[in-house]
Chains A and B, each alone.
Chain A
Amino acid sequence: MHALLAAQGIDPWIAFFSLVTVVITVGMGFWTAGKSKSAGDFFVAGRSVSVGWNASAISGEYLSAASFMGVAGMVMATGYDALWYPVCYACGYLFLLLFIAGPLRRFGAYTIPDFAEGRYDSPLFRKIAVCFVLFIGFFYTMPQMKGAGTTLAYIFPGLPYWAGVVVVGAVITLNVSLGGMKGITLVQAFQYWLKVFAITLPIFVLASIVGHYQQHLEANKTAQETVAAAPAGIERKALPAKAPKDEQWIAPFGKLTTKAVDASIAAAKTPEAKAALEANKQPYSLLYTYSLIIALVCGTAGLPHILVRFYTNPDGVAAKRTTMWVMILIGVFYVFPPVYGVIGRSLTPELYDAVGAKGTDKVVLELPTLLAGRDHPLLGSILSGITCAGAFAAFMSTFSGLLVSMSSALAHDIYGRILRPASSPEQRLKAFKWSALIVGVTAVGLGSQVEALEINFMVGQAFAIAAASYFPLLFMSVWWRGMTMRGAATGMLVGGLSALASITLTSVSDVAVAKAKKLTDAAELAAYWADHPLAKGIADYWVAHPLARILCEQPAIWAVPLSIVLMIVVSKATASTVPADVRMKMLVLHAPEALGLKQEYIKEHEGLGGH
């Protein structure tokens, strides 16, 4: 068996740890399936999850392939600027805690569409709001699928990227349709601890042998230093031409934020045009940085699969405590992925030359195997096996969480409320399973198309859509009495859809450009662009207008204010349609639960004949 695996280039330890993770995940799904019987259990786990479990589960669900693999890959590829991702992923929770978590929990509803309907008494608004669960969800599943394809292609070197996507997609879809959310809570919590273990242990062992985080960082010279002060014993391999230079990599406003302008400079014809673009490079980078920060911080508060978990807390105080613990748990985790990126730059620079599933996104998996070359062959394999297990935990848990949210939206809202309002709980449960299948297949189809895009970049884009749609909706609905349904809907739709459109444009043209880059023959290349005139037109437009490219790639800086301004303007214009009992709704959102207003609110509605 060992010889057979080795002959195919498969490391038995890596395959073993990955398999164990998958078996435990699926096994727990089956085991808990027997325990979740009612439809309520399936959707929000009977609202009886303790703070510790829930915080671990939220963190487990939140730490996706982007956090586990993407952050390290992006830090390695672009340097300092990529640090904004882990910081804002963690700090976005603060906004959620400060403005949204408590009130939303007091209001008492299953999902964001529930909240949208309850706050504005509008079943129509629920239908609008539910669309964004699917939009954001699909954008967020694509990078998870890329993580799955990359990891499986690493474990089984002969396996094509798409096959990994299909295998992982099938396993998780099966698991979710069997276990529902109750199963997922337990599995997610377990997976958080697995991920922390899998990211920390290998890096501690590795750093003790090849040198520490700050030593490898010190080996990169800044623009102010004339020679790199590489500490004794720190080895660095020669960087390939594609890798960014030290002083750009270690300093802010590097490759990540200047890519668009650099492309334009390369294409500029006159020295004057080049000089003008050079002058704009730094200000545009600053703009890019702020837009990214807004997207990530506001987007966290609008992620559908995270918010739904706050309803599984027994009360608002528990919801707040949970958020605090989530911030600590994910903050501790996020210190480590950049370390892989920094050490990877010194020791595995060959990844800069590779593309797609073989590029820097796999540095977390690849780095521990270096120990094999340093007289620790077994240790290298075992540690690489552990990081693979962590990667599996990462994309499996996030994909499961998204699958539950999206399938719930389909089963609970589209089927249960729009198509068949009279359906029985059994029918809805069945619909949930079918929905999981539909969502799973779609996600696999989309995921197999995005090999060329960076994992972390794609997640950032899902955040930007959430930031421009759900975040303004939640924030304004919780804190402003004057909001009307039309105002909320206009702002959410225009902001969210324009962010969605500009991001789709960027991704589609980037995928097309990446495909074109693979073509070496000039005639083939010309034929390819002739077949894709739109992508060619967009790509050329970006080169001519780098600012437009930045604003489309990172739309949050204009889309979030646009959404909020529209909400205010349209609400003012339709002020007569402010829900009549808005004072009562605001009281439920803000009054301490000790006053017991929620029951009162529900009774009033029942008394009115309700909906």
Chain B
Amino acid sequence: MRESTPAPDDIHSDAFLARLMRGQLKLSIACALCFVVALVALPLLNYYQPAFMAQRIAGFTLTWLILGVLFFPFVWIISYVFIKRSIALEDAEAKAAQDGLTK
């Protein structure tokens, strides 16, 4: 198999793959963390601060407003940022790899 013979060009090296995956995973995890923190925190706030979360805001309770309405735009913002950055990251990766190939 070709696997046994080391590939001559840059993109087939382990270092390239590791860099590629690390970059992508870092971006994905950063975005996921924003989201996971909110998902974990909301039930905890409901649990430990019920009176605070039950205060009325324009008729809604605070926690109902967050979960029933505000959560959706929050997730759109995360996904917008992620898509912008991940497309930029891919372009940079492709450019770097092609530069490496033509050297």
A residues near B (Cβ < 8 Å) are 80, 83-84, 87, 90-91, 93-95, 97-99, 102, 212-215, 217-218, 222-224, 229, 231, 250-253, 282, 286, 289-290, 293, 297, 316-317, 320-321, 323-324, 327-328, 331-332, 334-335, 338, 479, 580-581, 583-584, 586-587, 590-592, 594-595, 597, 604, 608
Check B37 for interface membership: any CB of A closer than 8 A.
Answer: no
Contacting A90 at CB < 8 Å: which of B75, B90, B97? B75
Given the contacts A479-B25, A581-B3, A584-B3, A591 and B75 also touching, CB distance less than 8 Å: no
Closest CB in chain A relative to B99 CB, distance in Å: 12
Interface pair B79/A595, CB less than 8 Å apart: no
**Do B11 and A591 touch across chains, with their CB atoms under 8 A apart?**
yes
* Residues of chain A with a CB closer than 8 A to B90's CB: 316-317, 592, 594
- From 43 to 89 in chain B, residues with beta carbon under 8 angstroms from any chain A beta carbon are 43-44, 46-47, 50-51, 53-56, 58-61, 63-64, 67-69, 71-73, 75-76, 78-80, 82-83, 86-87
With contacts A97-B82, A590-B17, A595-B11 taken as known, whether A581 is within 8 angstroms of B1 at the C-beta atoms is yes
**Interface residue from B11, B47, B53, B72 paired with A587 (Cβ < 8 Å):** B11
- Which residues of B sit under 8 angstroms from A95, Cβ to Cβ? 32
Chain B residues with CB under 8 Å of A604's CB are 2
Beta-carbon contact of A252 and B53 below 8 Å: yes
Most buried by B among A87, A215, A328, A586: A87
Q: How far is the CB of B97 from chain A (nearest CB, A)?
A: 6
Please list 23 pairs of residues, one from A and one from B, whose beta carbons are closer than 8 Å in the complex, sorted by A's number: A83-B64, A84-B67, A91-B71, A93-B79, A94-B32, A94-B78, A98-B32, A98-B82, A99-B32, A214-B58, A215-B59, A218-B59, A222-B61, A250-B64, A253-B46, A253-B47, A320-B86, A335-B72, A479-B25, A583-B3, A583-B12, A586-B17, A594-B91
**How far is it, in angstroms, between the C-alpha of A320 and the C-alpha of B55 when the chains are bound?**
38
Could you list which residues of chain B lie within 8 angstroms of chain A, going by C-beta atoms? 1-3, 11-12, 14, 16-17, 20-21, 24-25, 28, 31-32, 35, 39-40, 43-44, 46-47, 50-51, 53-56, 58-61, 63-64, 67-69, 71-73, 75-76, 78-80, 82-83, 86-87, 90-91, 93-94, 97-98
Q: Smallest distance from the beta carbon of B3 to chain A beta carbons, Å?
A: 5
For residue B80, give the distance in angstroms from its CB to the closest CB of chain A: 7
B17 touches A592 (CB 8 A): no
Q: Is the CB of A320 within 8 A of B87?
A: yes
Evaluate contact between A217 and B60: CB separation under 8 angstroms.
yes
Q: Known contacts A327-B75, A327-B79; is A250 also within 8 Å of B61 by CB?
A: yes
The A-B contact count (CB < 8 A) is 154
Interface-centre pick from A282, A289, A590 (highest chain B CB count, 10 A) = A590
Contact of A224 among B54, B60, B67, B76 (CB under 8 A): B54
Q: A231-B59, A334-B72 are in contact. Are A324 and B80 (CB under 8 A)?
A: yes
Q: Are A90 and B72 in contact (CB under 8 A)?
A: yes
Question: Is B83 in contact with A282, judged by CB distance below 8 angstroms?
Answer: no
Minimal beta-carbon separation of B51 from chain A (angstroms) = 5
Contact across chains for B56 and A218 when beta carbons are under 8 A apart:
yes
B94 near A595: Cβ-Cβ < 8 Å: yes
Name the A residues within 8 Å of B60 (CB-CB): 214, 217
B86 adjacent to A324 (CB under 8 Å): no
Residues of chain B with a CB closer than 8 A to A328's CB: 76
Q: Which of A316, A321, A327, A335 contacts B68 (CB 8 A)?
A: A335
Q: How far is the CB of B30 from chain A (nearest CB, A)?
A: 9
The answer on a CB contact under 8 Å between A87 and B97 is: no
Whether B31 and A91, one on each chain, are in contact in the complex, defined by CB atoms closer than 8 angstroms, is: no
Which chain A residue shows the least CB distance to B63? Answer: A252
**B87 CB contacts on chain A under 8 angstroms:** 317, 320
Sample of 15 further A-B pairs with CB below 8 A, known A251-B63, A320-B87: A80-B63, A87-B71, A91-B39, A214-B59, A251-B54, A253-B46, A286-B43, A320-B86, A323-B79, A331-B73, A479-B21, A580-B3, A583-B14, A587-B17, A590-B21
> Which residues of the other chain, A, contact B20 by a CB distance below 8 angstroms?
587, 590-591
- The answer to whether B43 and A252 have CB atoms under 8 Å apart is yes
| Closest B residue to A91 using CB positions | B75
Report, nearest first, the 7 A-B pairs whose CB atoms are least far apart.
A214-B59, A331-B72, A594-B94, A252-B46, A592-B94, A218-B59, A592-B90
Chain A residues, CB < 8 A from B80? 324
Could you tell me the distance between the alpha carbons of A518 and B16 in the complex, rounded to whole angstroms? Answer: 66
Pick from A91, A102, A214, A217: contact of B35, CB under 8 Å: A91
Contacts of B58 in A (CB 8 A): 214
- Give complex CA distance A529, B64 in Å: 41
Given contacts A80-B64, A91-B75, A331-B72, contact A251 B50 (CB under 8 A): yes
A167–chain B nearest beta-carbon distance, Å: 35
> Contacting A586 at CB < 8 Å: which of B21, B31, B47?
B21
